Chains A and B, each alone.
Chain A
């Protein structure tokens, strides 16, 4: 007995040291992951907020040499493009997710799963080229539609996968309970299952929106960009990321500052949209799940 006891005691010291080392490593890794994020956030805020004024939100870009001017058209443009993309990407994503989990265990469902995985791995510039090929070329011009289509395509895999994962988490017993009450299957899916999974699905949608809002590459040859207000969705339209890109590669300090301000506004915009969606779709009984 005493032998065992002393052995345990001797080991416990060594084990504690090992535990400390591993814990330190984990904390360091966590810091490394967070550090760039915090840095980007603060640097953008400091650089961007200082160049920000009311004009930035109300005025069109000014030509080189003139001071002042803003990105009003790009802010509205980004909201328009993300809106168009959401209109296309979210319903398709959710319905595909519902089909894969609720209605099909077949080969076809597995193919859809595989394709969405592949789609989420495709570089966004390729998506842009695709949109260019199917919309810009036949229509003979850059347009908000083409940009929205490209962003929508980018959103589909995220929304589909999240919908699928969240629906899988809804216990089978909930579906049975609803069916046993004589509720038709489609109503069970929409009013019970989807509703139970809604908070998770909304998180996924917000992720998709945030990603789409920050995309530059697919917009370069779909919505193209515009220094003025767009009169219709049928023509080129400005967007914050493209505007940032144009300003950032320019040689003018004034434009560099505008690019920083644009980056800051973009982050703030995504944050505000997330907040609004969260509040608007808040479920009074949502579980921490």
Chain B
């Protein structure tokens, strides 16, 4: 399976171009559920009748990092939040179109189940202020059902290790999460998301509130996570997009303008708009 994925990346496959889609061989189709973790069809989100994004058709492969770039207000975050039902609580928000996870429409899943499969890390670190570091990491587990202490201990160590926070916190797991620095808090939030063992992790500008050192650490973490997860990251920072991602989607005015391999987007984009944005003509 991993070979197949590598193969596809090398093929410079562009999923938004219909021609490419039709050319996929029958063999590939039979493996479709393995390759695409997330697919959207005609996804649109509107707030109080005003359309924020529309016609979003996009497919994400497992074990890849996709960056979403675009100017402010172009619908990047709106799109991301639609993937795990985060618009559910927004007044006036209507989500239409289909989102599939592993080929199955998300309306067939239980809402909380989708959120457990699709984890999310937010722009600002948001640990639970009344909980310790330990409690924060296991919050998603303990508030779901009872777990054995040994299982929780193991999860805490594993998640913090993956998020690159274990060494700094292993001696003070019972300390309040608020005692950590901003960058550490954000890695704690990543660990908290990893603890529920999702398949897809959405990052909504995870480093925009952090210093360069913390940013570097989180980008390092992203590379490690890629081995086991499908990652989608919204970023304002184009260098970051080019550093961390395999694929890049360019959003503009609520539309998906181009989705392609990151190298293609930054060196030879097909759309004029993409090129102008990437070289900094607007945005």
A residues lining the B interface (CB < 8 Å): 105, 171, 173-184, 187, 191-192, 195-196, 198, 283-287
Contacts and interface: CB of A to CB of B under 8 A. Distances in A.
Contacts of B130: 195-196, 198, 283, 285-286
A74 to B, nearest CB: 39
A173 B128 contact: no
Contacts of A287: 129, 178
Nearest to A289: B129
B178 A179 contact: no
A174 B115 contact: no
Contacts of B196: 181-182
Interface residues of B, number: 32
B206 interface: no
Interface string B101-145: 000000000001111100110101011111110000001100110
Contact of B124 (A173, A175, A187, A191): A173
B122 A285 contact: no
Listed from nearest, the 6 A-B pairs whose CB atoms lie closest are A182-B116, A181-B140, A285-B176, A182-B115, A180-B120, A173-B126
Question: Per DSSP, are chain A's interface residues mostly helix, strand or loop, or mixed?
Answer: helix
Given A178-B143, A181-B192, A182-B112, 16 more contacts: A174-B129, A176-B89, A177-B122, A177-B126, A177-B189, A179-B88, A180-B119, A181-B196, A182-B115, A183-B140, A183-B144, A184-B112, A196-B129, A198-B130, A285-B132, A286-B130
A196 B120 contact: no
Given A105-B91, A173-B122, A191-B143, A179 B129 contact: no
B235 interface: no
Interface of B: 84, 86, 88-89, 91, 112-116, 119-120, 122, 124, 126-132, 139-140, 143-144, 176-178, 189, 192-193, 196
A174 B128 contact: yes
B1 to A, nearest CB: 26
Contacts of B88: 179
16 contacts: A173-B122, A179-B86, A180-B84, A180-B115, A180-B120, A180-B122, A180-B193, A181-B116, A181-B119, A181-B140, A181-B192, A182-B140, A182-B144, A183-B139, A285-B130, A285-B178
B128 A178 contact: yes
Given A171-B126, A196-B129, A285-B131, A182 B86 contact: no
